[in-house]
Structure 1
Amino acid sequence: MNKGLNVHSEIGALKKVCVHRPGMDLVNMKAEDFDRVWIHDAFYLDYAQKEHDQFTDLLRGAGAEVVYMEELLAETFDKVEGTRAEFMTKFMGESGISNAALRQAVVEKLDSIKDNKEFVLTAMGGLYVRDLEIPHVGGSLASLDGDELKGDDMVLFPMPASYFSRDPLAVVGKGATMNRMYWNQRNREVIFYETVLRNHPDYAGSPIWYDHNSEWHIEGGDILNINAKTLAIGISERTQTAAIDELAKNMFWGSDEAEIENIYAIKIPHGYAYMHLDTVCTQVDRDKFTVYPGIYQTLRAYRLTRGDSEGEVHIEELEGTLQHILELATGMDHITMIECGGGDPIEASREQWNDGSNTLAVAPGKVCVYERNVVTNDALYKAGVELLVAPSEELSRGRGGPRCMTMPFWREEI
């Protein structure tokens, strides 16, 4: 079993990958609360879990060890004294519960759960008034606020987007970024992974390239490992330029363990079809990328390298097409761009809605895709890419694809 982290590409043979199997966190909310908890549809949980199990079976069949975040965190609590209490402090700090009585009731409920895995799943699954013992104490308006609460009022929001393991962190080389999420509701997700990477015996000591407490938001879906020395990062609605500046400074002037020498920052439009860089562009082979054609219209790109003076980052604006920029980044003479929807604008728009461009490579030229994106999948097949096809009737409702649902912990070198 590989210990630690090792990811120097998007396409090296996948040997260990971290996921979260959706549970009550995916369904424990009313439809009118979808926007509050940041999810987009009512899921059929049994089918979503079956699809997720089939997806992870595909990864195992391709030679990957699949580890589950919820199990790693429970193991951390089991093995390292004091980590659960430290986690609780950080978790409640991100909970958004301002009422002191409700906050205390949530703490008492979670503290009463002795089994660590059950504790993790309950923290992710959310709590309602009916799940809590809320004291009714006089003396102030704030303390009486709970008297007007209904049993189905949400107190601790569930975390339905947490099956997208890609966003809270990004493994780069031997370390990882701990991201500041665009939606505050998702910031609790980061604490789960951070607790594991800082404390679990298999990962403790891994360098942290970006601090979750930073002012600037950045998400893992925007970070692509081109090779051991090169990253591509999307400038998107979810990832700010100031965050890329900070990460670049950390990489170029921080730990000696950092290997990155070049960062290609690629600006993409804001909008649902362009959520992250990996929703519009993913690498499927040494010389092949999927791409959503809509990205062509507003492309701007920059190359960041280490400057001459301590802490300085040199920035160069790049001219040319996305294909040319990817050729620069990869060092390949020619990159083949495989267009979502086979280049047809109607099919591209439809299949991009269900993440036709969001593929997960398990080896060079071998990728996992959603079954429903038949036109894009056919284009990939005709380009010589081997496909592992995952069912996606339920999982795709969350608006994220195979890459979104995974965080590689170990890839072989290429």
Structure 2
Amino acid sequence: MKYPVHITSEIGELKTVILHRPGKEVENLTPEYLKRLLFDDIPFLPAIQKEHDYFANALRNRGVEVLYLTTLMEEALNSNEIREKFVDQILTESKSNINGAWKNLRAYLLSGSTKELVEKVMSGVLKTDIPSEKKIHLYELMSDHYPFYLDPMPNLYFTRDPAAAIGNGVSINRMQERARKRESIFMDYIMNYHPRFANHQIPKWFTRDNRFAMEGGDQLVLSKDTLAIGVSARTSPQAIEQLAIQLFKYQDQFTKVLVVEIPKSRAFMHLDTVFTMVDHNKFTIHPAIQGPDGNMRIFTLEKGEQENRVKITEGNNFSEALKAVLNLDEIILIPCGGGDPIASAREQWNDGSNTLAISPGVVITYDRNYVSNEVLRNHGIEVIEVQSSELSRGRGGPRCMSMPIYREDI
């Protein structure tokens, strides 16, 4: 591999992917704080880990290299200076000085191995983790009843959102929700300090210190020259335009960004929860995102005549826009649940449209979406089903759970 990052499509043969195996952060969910941490239910840790291992092995069985976020992060924190910088940044972004616990938290996080440090940050730090004799101030002993010094990060197993590979570069995303903002710190450190990536000067098309939010579930690389991005509850049009300007300014491969507005609701969280590419001309779609005659708000961004400006063309038909940017005469939109109003709504809630392509016409899906899976097979798609009773509780599917960093060109 000339470059450690190379993504020029959604369907090229997948060679390397980053996953996160759910850990103790899932067990630190409680009913009282589910909304704060963006969960609807509490997964059973041994079962969700078993299901995630099944998913990872399904990828390995097809020749995909699986990298784990925790391991990459441990290897990136390869000096005391980097470890301390990371801890200070985590504490700053967690606003952990509000209750006066900064010094004790810093010492606690740095007291063990690098592996323990990464696990503590991901799983969260309970107030009971710091012994009482370490709490020398009254405000530490009388802090509020919220149980955490550092919140857990239970959404981490959705590695798609904090960062996305685009061409030979990456987008390190600014997450919309407070519960997820810190997640993109990990990919930032991995790209900056991990030996596999640090020496390649991998371009960053978007950075996490941007003012405007964008998440990886809304970013789809349709072809070697076209990126699709959804305007959703998690991704803003301002962020999309800034990413497009950076792409057009610093590389020549991507020349178009297709902007797709989707309903801003929890059921349609990101573009990839309602639309994914499964073959050269085949796509999954949830019919509810389209208006009469397939109409939606669609915009095509191209390089503008003035610096730091884009040319914007507006359209309203999704199928026609896809055919135009992909130079196809026909496309096939495969409806979630076969278009049945009950099956499509039920399976959409369980990410029936959220497929992970591992090569053209071969996808990984959740086994629970049996109607959608059968419809895919009827359209000539090979479907690899993975167990999903616990994984699906987090409201994300196989594409959400994966960050591809290398695909073969198609």
Q: Same fold (TM over 0.5)?
A: yes
**Cα offset, 1:3, TM superposition:** 5.2
Rounded Cα–Cα distance in structure 1 between residues aligned with 2:2 and 2:337: 37
- Give the structure 1 partner of residue 5 of structure 2: 5
Question: Aligned-pair distance for 1:319?
Answer: 3.3
Partner residue, 2:316:
319
Q: Distance in 2 between matches of 1:26 and 1:136?
A: 27
Deviation at 1:264, TM superposition (A): 0.4
Matched, 1:206 2:202: yes
| Moved beyond 4 Å, runs of 4+ | 134-137
Q: How does 1:381-400 map to 2 (within 5 A)?
A: 381-400=377-396
Given that residues 129 and 151 in structure 1 are in contact (C-alpha distance below 8 angstroms), is that contact kept between their aligned partners in structure 2? no
Change beyond 3 A, Cα 1:180–1:150 = closer
The answer to whether the 8 A contact 1:181-1:218 is kept is yes
Specify the alignment match of 1:174 in structure 2: 168
> Deviation digits for residues 16-60 of structure 1, max 9, x if unmatched?
000000000112132201122222211110000000000000001
2:270 counterpart of 1:273: no
Q: Deviations over 1:228-275 (max 9, x none)?
A: 11100001110000001111111112x24x621100000001111210
Contact 1:169 1:219 in 2 (8 A): yes
Alignment equivalent of 1:300, drawn from 297, 300, 303: 297
Root mean square deviation, CA, Å = 1.6
In structure 1, what residue type is equivalent to 2:324?
L
8 Å CA contact 2:39–2:394 kept in 1: the answer is: yes
Distance in structure 2 (CA, Å) of the matches to 1:354 and 1:100: 39
* Residue 246 (1) aligns with residue 238 (2): no
Match of 1:125 in 2: 123
Contact 2:91–2:97 (Cα < 8 Å) also in 1 = no
Say if 1:61 and 1:344 are closer, same or farther in 2 by CA, change over 3 A: same
The answer to whether the 8 Å contact 1:105/1:133 transfers is: no
Specify the alignment match of 2:40 in structure 1. Answer: 40
Residues 16 and 411 of structure 1 are in contact (CA less than 8 Å); yes or no, is this contact kept in structure 2?
yes
- Distance in structure 2 (CA, Å) of the matches to 1:229 and 1:116: 40
**CA drift at 1:161:** 0.3
| Structure 1, unaligned runs of 5 or more | 138-142
State whether residues 3 and 168 of structure 2, in contact with CA within 8 Å, keep that contact through their aligned partners in structure 1.
no
Whole-Å Cα distance in 2 between the matches of residues 88 and 299 of structure 1? 44
Q: Which moved more, 1:51-60 or 1:310-319?
A: 310-319
How many Å separate the matches in 2 of 1:410 and 1:71?
18
**Number of residue equivalences:** 404
Identity among equivalent positions (%) equals 40
Provide closer, same or farther for how the CA distance between residues 39 and 98 of structure 1 changes in structure 2, counting only shifts above 3 A: farther
Aligned to 1:237: 233
Give the equivalent residue in structure 1 for 2:187. 193
Structure-1-length-normalised TM-score: 0.94
Decide whether the 8 Å contact of 2:260 with 2:298 is kept in 1. Answer: yes
Query: In the TM superposition, what is the alpha-carbon distance from 1:294 to its structure 2 partner?
Result: 0.5
**Contact (CA 8 Å) 2:51, 2:391: kept in 1 or not?**
yes
Equivalent position SS for 2:170: strand
SS in 2 for 1:176: strand
Deviation at 1:291, TM superposition (A): 0.1
